[in-house]
Amino acid sequence: MFVKECSLGIDIGGTKIAAGLVDRSGHVLKQQTYSTPKESKDRILDVLRETVITFSNLAKEAGYNINGVGIGTAGQVNYDIGRIISGTSNITDWNNIPIIDYLKQYTSLPIYLDNDANTFAIAEYVFGEARGTDNLIGLTLGTGVGGGVISQGDLIRGEWGGAGELGHMTVNMNGPDCNCGSKGCIEVYASGTGIANRMKERLENLESTDLTEELKVYQGNRNQLTSKEVFSWYEAEMPVAKETINLAILALSYGIVNMIHTFNPSVIVLGGGLVREREWIATTIQEHIQHKGMSSLIGTVDIRLSKLGYDAGLIGASSQVWFQK
């Protein structure tokens, strides 16, 4: 009897936890989504336990063989011991949590835990736009900006797993404060939160005569403004929105030049909700970087948009199982 090999991927986000069985080709075989509990970290761990048990049973019923469990999560992860060191404000008390030790009580399968930007880079290397190269950078652009670097086929993790915080690379030392404690990071310009905040600053400084009726609504209630509105206005050729998005792309372009100088990749893959289905962002950055930095390094790099879609986080988490050497 033929038994299909697969891995169990679990992607932990601020609003949802996506879990699924993924085969060696990156195809999602079975999938479920759960709301991320807000009560406590213990409730999140309960969901993870139930997920492992549920999918182990589903795999057995379907005749699948699970080779391992891969978990991706926001925050800083000590990869060697499988512990979340510092989480995210979007997930309740998501700090200093020994996820792997906890789950080992409920499964004998090998378990891998990493930062979700690292798992994105792995997914692009194993299944996605960076197949065929051993030197790549994965950038996730959403609420924040995450990064993962694979050099000579190995993921760069640093001393304990905290390497690759590329969104916190400073591109303007006199820029706005970043929540990491630095100033002018890529994230304060090119993340969803950063784009919204820069647009709010512009609205605050605009004269009433320069405001459309739509902008007046948001000027009076700026907390309701998100990057979604800013992109919509950009596409409608609204000058103040074009300035904001152009600044985001310029900051990201300079950051990418710094990354190229540091890591000498051949491919940089952009993913995340901010760039999904916006191929023009990759094209624009590709054009920008050709006129900046060392031509011997810059000229050999392709900027590509991820094609993994809405399942990128799940596929990325699961791909850790196949990435082990």
Per DSSP, 157 falls in state -
Amino acid in the structure at residue 5: E
Can you tell me whether residue 99 is helix, strand or coil?
helix
Give the whole-angstrom CA distance, residue 146 versus residue 56: 31
Burial of 223 (0-12, 13-18, 19+ CB in 10 A): exposed
Place of tokens 């905290």: 162
Active site residue 116: yes
Q: Check 11, 42, 93, 116 and give the catalytic one.
A: 116
Tokens in use for 201? 């600053």
Q: Which of 157, 169, 168, 92 is nearest to 119 (CA)?
A: 157
Sequence-separated (6 or more) residues with CB below 8 Å from residue 261: 293, 294, 297
Per the CB < 8 A criterion, the answer to whether 37 and 92 are in contact is yes
Task: Name 112's bridge partners.
Answer: 70
- Burial of 305-320, coded b for 16+ CB within 10 Å and e otherwise, reads bbebeebbbbbbbbbb
> Which residues are catalytic, by number?
116
